[in-house]
Structure 1
């Protein structure tokens, strides 16, 4: 435990709002106003789940282009009394009327991503509200109406637009429908940083949820408005789909990295299993022997990501519909086989998905990698309370601005989660009625000697696993301060030569990787946005950190 605690730089009364240390509770999220809401709930005696529910509603107001009433998500909860971790699956689901060829045009070609992701037919059954209700009923202590009230106040009274809005609006205007444009760019003028904004339509929606509960979405007025909006735009979601949606409470998946236990959601979540596989591949290379900014570290990361994500693309799916070779993917001999493809001389052009079926005595055929474009944003938030309970959620409307469709008179955007399916039939992750698309959402808990020491997660679509894994190795292998571990430049590589990179990546390491056959886009870009809390089990301290790529914060509570 001390290996990831001893080098923490945060101190009480630190003026950097993206670092915090406390001993009585902690919240971290991607937007400061939402973090303050969660911290206030803890201060009022709420527990970690109460705080996370309140943060979700607050983010629906202040980060509406990444999450909201129409979102989906996974919630991870640790009960310190029972010593038990649980997954609340609030993931989106395909409507009953979905057609397997709905993203194929009359000529048999895949409809371009922009066109299919901004159409009403891309909207899946939103799950986050039912997920939050289920989580609150199971693990919370405060009433739903009380936890919604801070979000109502933000929507009614207003708040200052932050710099994240500038990017989302000005770069994604083309994704917005008329209703969304009227809110984000009234009279054609995009809202800008520092502007005071209110959302009375969303305030009305939140008031309805306060009065009538989450059923107002799945069985009542809000759901009616969603369905009416989509049917006018050739959507396929029906009231029956909303009424039949159920949230599952599931057991998590568990893996390890060195002496630490890593706990994540399992399928249909694809991020959790991939994180465990990636860490097991990396474990064999003892990254701590290389400098944190070295080409060796980045080379192993880039190749290990290719190995892992090719398997994810080939084999992950909804386990109610397809068989997943989960035992084989994590089998020690299969991991060794994958490790042997990292040759230290170049980008190995022979890397493809493997055949994990061979490692669980199955005659199933080797899979096929089907790469396709998905959305790139989400949001993550987490809380630890005074009793040692932990809650974390990764929540999303898929793409920034989701489908671009805002429900008239209700002030929230709808997701485009159906674009998380592979658009052609015949694949593990192809579209089918009532099926979950593969998600990369990876809320993560880390344990040492049976005790929780870390909660973290990130947005970023396909880059989520890469972001979480790199922060973990910065903490465990390089024994970095939590905030420094988050800020250390990250990379992301999928199946192609192209490696996304963050500002600050060592130029000599970049040059070396280019010599080895990797390619880099001209411009750096943020990869993910990690929110995390370290738990010092020896001294009772909590260390929180928010990623600088969004206007977030970490706020802690101290004993009086």
Structure 2
């Protein structure tokens, strides 16, 4: 089967066995009803996904191959010792399912584990580069569960591409090298600072990071892949689990994770949450994912002031989106956590009357009302008398996102992470251990004594900003898949794509290319360098507290189905995204 790899701004077409004359004389083939497409943050990952699809694999099969490669070539963002959320669309039944592979806190976790003796929160870097921050990895178990439901190829063959890369080596990409230059100072280089495996992996004898293009091999990761390919349960019940627990329990700041904690992990299959939006349904992962905020924003926009025809050229349209973000972030921060540990007003937060009421707070100028917490409990089917504490969870960036549509029209939208850059910086089996537990609030009560819903607890899943999304049309058919990395900013990045396509009438790539804007709390952050000065000035004139930020580094991956049934992809130019199609 012929295939195309679309790099950003570059089209490379492989047509085998045809002369130029034959190609010119050949009639234009009619587009199939269902193309297959992959969009990831790395060329190797996209190639791995396409290889699986060419062999007749499903979207889930491709996702397994993709993530096993990303764990190797993009270790600063995600890995098999981390976690993920996958939203899956079954084209035949027009049904959605969510696979929750979020990490869990160990049984020995305590509410004050990230607090100092004086009651202050531990500095983030100390918490991150420690054993305290590693949760039980969930992604391997999640992928295994999804494969049992939706896989078509044999599990043990889905790791071949990654295994070859790990054995033969891969060239360090510009982005990976840049991350090492910027953040390598946080990777321990002496035993006093912590385990030095990552430093020995990435740096030369002079202490300099290997340059772009350096061929990096990872035989330990190849061995790990062999174990997982043979039986994914061995990841949780064998030597790897024991090694992870031993590494976590090393000083400094040793954690309590045990091999028994790892063996007890269970992924969860959940029903998708969906929010009506004009003549579509926008769907995503329920808590502990923060997709609720994505659904809220789009519901608020549906009930708020209509955007002008000028789309992104009208500052008032940006102001509307900013205020919708503020309203949703306020509620998300207050109420969303692990559903096994706290009650949440989920139905209230997506209630049409509640969203319409929140939308009335949007005006043509900034107002404190839009970043104040609402009362979704009043619109929930089950009320609550408890007052949730003011959130104290940190804002950090990391993660990866990819989307796949297979030849049957099934779809995967998946976001995966090791949390912050290079996770804890500790390695086992060629993988970086996650620092996912720093996604908990470092404080367990606010200054008024109210319990914070996202506080640490044993066996609890930390709240996640990961918000993989799938949009369906009025007939329940797949329309668009999107998502992004970016910590708490994920919500805003994901929404920007939908607003660009559905509110402002842009194509998916043009929507991805829009400047990023994150409006969480009082401050509205606009992407420095891409945001026109005129927009910044206009937002300031409307009373917004604007911060032109260099840190708005999204990694959006999007696939959209066009009216003729063909697919259009978009990859974020801010990273190394590549679109591939069959």
Tell whether the 8 Å contact from 1:95 to 1:237 is kept in structure 2 after alignment: yes
Say which of 57, 68, 72 aligns to 1:61: 72
- Residue 52 of structure 2 corresponds to residue 37 of structure 1: no
User: Please, which moves more after superposition, 525-534 or 241-250?
Assistant: 525-534
- Residue 257 of structure 2 corresponds to residue 232 of structure 1: no
Q: CA 1:510–1:43 in structure 2 vs 1: closer, same or farther (change >3 Å)?
A: same
Say which of 357, 374, 383 aligns to 1:337: 357
Tell whether the 8 Å contact from 1:533 to 1:542 is kept in structure 2 after alignment: yes
- Residue 247 of structure 2 corresponds to residue 217 of structure 1: no
Q: CA 1:291–1:370 in structure 2 vs 1: closer, same or farther (change >3 Å)?
A: same
Tell whether the 8 Å contact from 2:323 to 2:370 is kept in structure 1 after alignment: no
- Residue 511 of structure 2 corresponds to residue 485 of structure 1: yes
The residue that corresponds to 2:60 in the other structure is 49
SS of equivalent to 1:201: helix
The residue that corresponds to 2:330 in the other structure is 310
User: Which one scores higher on RCO, CA 8 angstroms, separation ≥ 6?
Assistant: 1
- Residue 220 of structure 2 corresponds to residue 205 of structure 1: no
Distance in 2 (alpha carbons) for counterparts of 1:299 and 1:230: 45
Say which of 438, 441, 463 aligns to 2:463: 438
Aligned pairs for 1:146-295 (under 5 A) are: 146-177=157-188, 178-187=196-205, 188-211=207-230, 213-233=231-251, 234-270=254-290, 272-283=291-302, 284-295=304-315
Q: CA 1:79–1:345 in structure 2 vs 1: closer, same or farther (change >3 Å)?
A: closer
Q: CA 1:279–1:415 in structure 2 vs 1: closer, same or farther (change >3 Å)?
A: same
- Residue 406 of structure 2 corresponds to residue 395 of structure 1: no
Shift of 1:313: 0.7
Q: CA 1:16–1:346 in structure 2 vs 1: closer, same or farther (change >3 Å)?
A: closer
- Residue 545 of structure 2 corresponds to residue 545 of structure 1: no
User: Please, which moves more after superposition, 546-555 or 513-522?
Assistant: 513-522
Shift of 1:387: 0.9
Q: CA 1:350–1:14 in structure 2 vs 1: closer, same or farther (change >3 Å)?
A: closer
Q: CA 1:244–1:18 in structure 2 vs 1: closer, same or farther (change >3 Å)?
A: farther
Unaligned stretches of 5+ in structure 2?
13-30, 189-195, 445-450
Unaligned stretches of 5+ in structure 1?
1-10
The residue that corresponds to 2:443 in the other structure is 424
Distance in 2 (alpha carbons) for counterparts of 1:163 and 1:343: 43
Q: Provide the alpha-carbon RMSD of the alignment.
A: 2.0
Q: TM-score, normalized by length of structure 1?
A: 0.92
What is the aligned residue count? 542
Q: CA 1:31–1:126 in structure 2 vs 1: closer, same or farther (change >3 Å)?
A: same
Shift of 1:371: 4.1
Distance in 1 (alpha carbons) for counterparts of 2:430 and 2:425: 12
The residue that corresponds to 1:4 in the other structure is none
Shift of 1:136: 1.0
The superposition leaves residues 2-37 of structure 1 with CA deviations (integer Å, 9 ceiling, x where unpaired) of: xxxxxxxxx988675677998531111000111001
Q: CA 1:117–1:343 in structure 2 vs 1: closer, same or farther (change >3 Å)?
A: same
The residue that corresponds to 2:21 in the other structure is none
Shift of 1:183: 1.1
Tell whether the 8 Å contact from 1:38 to 1:52 is kept in structure 2 after alignment: yes
User: Please, which moves more after superposition, 356-365 or 452-461?
Assistant: 356-365
Distance in 2 (alpha carbons) for counterparts of 1:366 and 1:502: 38
The residue that corresponds to 2:379 in the other structure is 359
The superposition leaves residues 183-231 of structure 1 with CA deviations (integer Å, 9 ceiling, x where unpaired) of: 12232111222222211221222122223x2122200011111111112
Q: TM-score, normalized by length of structure 2?
A: 0.89
Distance in 2 (alpha carbons) for counterparts of 1:444 and 1:530: 11
Distance in 2 (alpha carbons) for counterparts of 1:148 and 1:421: 32
SS of equivalent to 1:122: coil
Tell whether the 8 Å contact from 1:164 to 1:551 is kept in structure 2 after alignment: yes
Shift of 1:366: 4.8
Shift of 1:291: 3.1
Distance in 2 (alpha carbons) for counterparts of 1:343 and 1:79: 40
Tell whether the 8 Å contact from 1:268 to 1:438 is kept in structure 2 after alignment: yes
The residue that corresponds to 1:504 in the other structure is 530
Aligned pairs for 1:364-383 (under 5 A) are: 364-383=385-404
